[in-house]
Structures are given as C-alpha cells and as structure tokens.
Amino acid sequence: MPEKKVRTVVHNGRRRSTGEAYSPKHNSRSGGIGDHVLANPERKNIYITLDFDGNPTMHEQVDFEKHEREFYEVFRPSLEAQNERYRKKGNKDRILTMDEYREARPPVETILQVGNKDMEVPPEVTRIAVAKWIDQMRSKYGSRYKIIDVAIHYDEPGTGGGICADGSRSKNTAGHAHIRSVFCAEGKDGWVVSESKALAQLGITYDDSRARSRYNNPQITFTQEARELFNQLVEEQNVAVETVPARPGKRTMTKEEYITEQLREHQEQLRTEVENLSDECLEIQTEAALEAQRRDELAVEVVELTKKKTILESALRGLEKAVERLKKTIGPIQKFFEKLSNIRLWKGHSALDEFLDNDASAYNALKELEAMDER
C-alpha cells in the first residue's frame, strides 16, 4: 500500500482581501484571541524575534507590533531623506511618518504548515522544519531578506489537536508557523523596503525562456525556492510530501471555492506588482529630483566660475598694463647703466662698477633688470 502523503502550506501575503495589512497581534496573542484559539497545556506556543542582523531571541510573551515598529527604524534615514526631497519640491502631501511608511510597505507574512486536521503529524515536525527553514533562508538570502518575528501556534484546533468547529478532534498536533519578514534593498540614503530591488540585488530572476508575467517573475522564483526548501526539510523527517497541485473536487475544494481562491491569489499578486511598480516609480522620481538638483547646483557653479573668470581676466589685463608701464620706465635706466659700463676708469673697472660698489640698492636694481631680460 503506497505511503500516505501530506500536503504542506507555504503561503505568502501582506494584506487581507479588504486591503488592510496583516496585523502581528494575532501571531503574538497580544491583541486578544478569537474563539478558534484554545488553551493547550501540553505544548506552549513558540515566539521568536530577530534583529536586523538576524540574531534571534525567544520569548514566553512578546508584543510583535512593538518589535516591528522598532525594527522599521532602520529605514528612517532613507525615509527622512525622501521626505526632505519632497519638501524641497513642494510635494508635502507625499511626506510619510514612519507608521505610514510601515502601513504602505508592510511585512510579508508567510504561513508554514504540515498537513491538515485529518492527518496525523507529530508535533516536532513543524518545529524542526521551521527552525531549519529559517536558518537556511537567512544563510542564503539574509543580506536582503530579513525575518522580523516568528510564531509557532499549537493552540488552534486545526493543527493543535483540539476540537474543530465541526465537533471532530484534530489528529494533527504539529502546529503551524507565522513568519513575518521584509525585503530590504540598499539605496543611496540607506535601507529601503522594496521586494523588487531586494530580489534584483540578490540576483534572483525568472525563467527567461518564457515571457515575464504574474506566473513568471522573480517573486514567483523566490516563493518556489522557499516552498521546495520547506518540503525538503519536512521529508527529511520521514514525512512524505504531496507535491502535485490539488485540483478542485469533492475532497479538496468546490469549483466556486477554487475560483475564489484563484481570484484571491491573483489579487495578492497584482497588489505585489503594484507595490513593486510604485517602488520603481518612486526610484525614478527620486533620480529625477536628484538630477534636477544636480543641474541647479551645476548652474550655480557655472555662474560662480564665470564671475571668477571675469575677475581673473580683468586682473590679468591690469598686470599686462603695469608691465608695459614698467618697461617704459626702466628703458632709460637701462641705457644709463649701459653708458656707465662703457666708461673705463682703469683696466677691468668701469664707471658702472664703481657706481655699484658704492650703492647696494643700485646693484640690486641692476640684477632685477638682468633677470627681467632673461625672462
């Protein structure tokens, strides 16, 4: 009898269907819990926060939202530089606070899960696979893919062994993980949140044998690599993973549910593409603003250099006139010294020599004249 395979879940998203960004409060249980959450004394939830360098800290209780606000401070220099450019251009309506920036560019939430409520999956499978997944993702992509916080939940019925909504008890006790992360790109003013730029800086592309589309782009490549890694780590624990995509049917989804899910995924993909296009537009606007600023600075510099050139040319003309006047003045003096040199008082000694021997200032003047002749 063939071994029964389980399905895994690797799902990424930033916002609900309403457009509202996912809140970290559910993950850290800091914003209250819903009716579907049950106390599980056998296994406590796992909460981990990571700093920008990827150093993890485990917590019994934690406020993920507070941690994420602190994490986003790394983006403040680039945000303030961008805001300053908007002020100079008069676009004050585009200026964002840090909370507005975080809302506009929220973390990506990844859900990792092994099996469903009807599949017996031991509790350590998810924990070990998630721990290794985080470690290997950080090792391979950590320079641009930053994991902010992690929660592994054992207190929900579907994967926590509890009583489900239909009255049945879940066989699955493996729990599931919520991993919140952000794609960071290095810009001219510091770090910015940008998935498209971060993936480009990581060198992640797409299948260039096919046209780029919502099914063939760097985001899809990254997600596929993340999914394959998680499946591999689950299989390393002797759990067979079903990798053939599910088709709509009685034991999976109805046609209407399947269409709804496809539309939801399409909406999420389109939203990601819009955010990436917004990043590219913002980059173009920033470059244009910087280019305009450089042109203005060069124009001011040209004016200043032109003024200096005019001043120097005027000074040069003044010097040339002074030299001409000096030449006219020293001409008669040179002729006088020549006459003195032709008068011989005795052998090897002229009247000029006698004059110079008794007047040091005259001697210095003669040397200066000789130097001018050499020039």
The average confidence (pLDDT) of the chain is 80
| Domain assignments of the chain as residue spans, ordered by start | 8-243, 251-321, 322-374
Q: What is the pLDDT of residue 251?
A: 46
**Interval 96-109 mean pLDDT:** 93
How far are the Cα atoms of 2, 118, 236 from residue 241, in angstroms, in the given order?
Answer: 13, 15, 10
pLDDT value at residue 36:
46
Which one is predicted more confidently, 146 or 20?
146
CA nearest 131: which of 182, 179, 172?
Answer: 179
| pLDDT value, residue 257 | 56
Confidence of residue 244 (pLDDT cuts 50, 70, 90): confident
Beta strands in the chain (DSSP E): 8-13, 46-50, 56-59, 108-114, 145-153, 176-187, 190-193, 344-346, 349-350
Residue 78 and residue 191 in contact, taking contact as beta carbons nearer than 8 Å: yes
Residue pair 13/23 in contact (Cβ under 8 Å)? The answer is no
Instruction: For 83-93, give one letter per residue: b (16+ CB within 10 A) or e.
Output: bebbeeeeeee
pLDDT of residue 3: 66
Q: What is the pLDDT of residue 213?
A: 83
Written as six digits, the tokens of 2 are 């063939």
CA dist 237 and 233 (Å) reads: 7
Looking at residues 110-131, what average pLDDT do you find? 84
Bigger pLDDT: 354 vs 107: 107
* Residue whose C-alpha is closest to residue 180's, from 233, 106, 276: 106
Residue 167, phi-psi category: left (phi > 0), alpha (psi -120 to 50), beta (remainder): left
pTM here is 0.66
Please give the helix or strand (H or E) that residue 129 lies within, else none: helix 123-141
pLDDT category at 249 given cuts 50, 70, 90 is very low
Averaged over 192-213, what is the pLDDT? 91
Checking if the pLDDT of 227 tops 90, the result is: yes
Residue with tokens 């003096």: 333
Q: What is the pLDDT of residue 357?
A: 67
Tens of pLDDT, residues 171-183: 667 788 999 999 9
Q: Cα–Cα distances in Å, from 81 out to 85, 95, 238? A: 6, 10, 52
Is pLDDT of 157 > 80? no
pLDDT for 273 equals 67
Residue 46 CA to residue 59 CA, distance in Å, equals 7
**Is 263's pLDDT higher than 70?**
no
Per-residue pLDDT at 93 exceeds 70: yes
Q: How far apart are CA 84 and CA 338, in angstroms?
A: 74
Q: Choose between 302 and 49: higher pLDDT.
A: 49
Dump pLDDT digits (tens) for 23-81: 888 888 765 554 444 555 456 889 999 999 999 999 988 999 999 999 999 999 999 99
User: CB–CB of 8/231 below 8 Å?
Assistant: yes
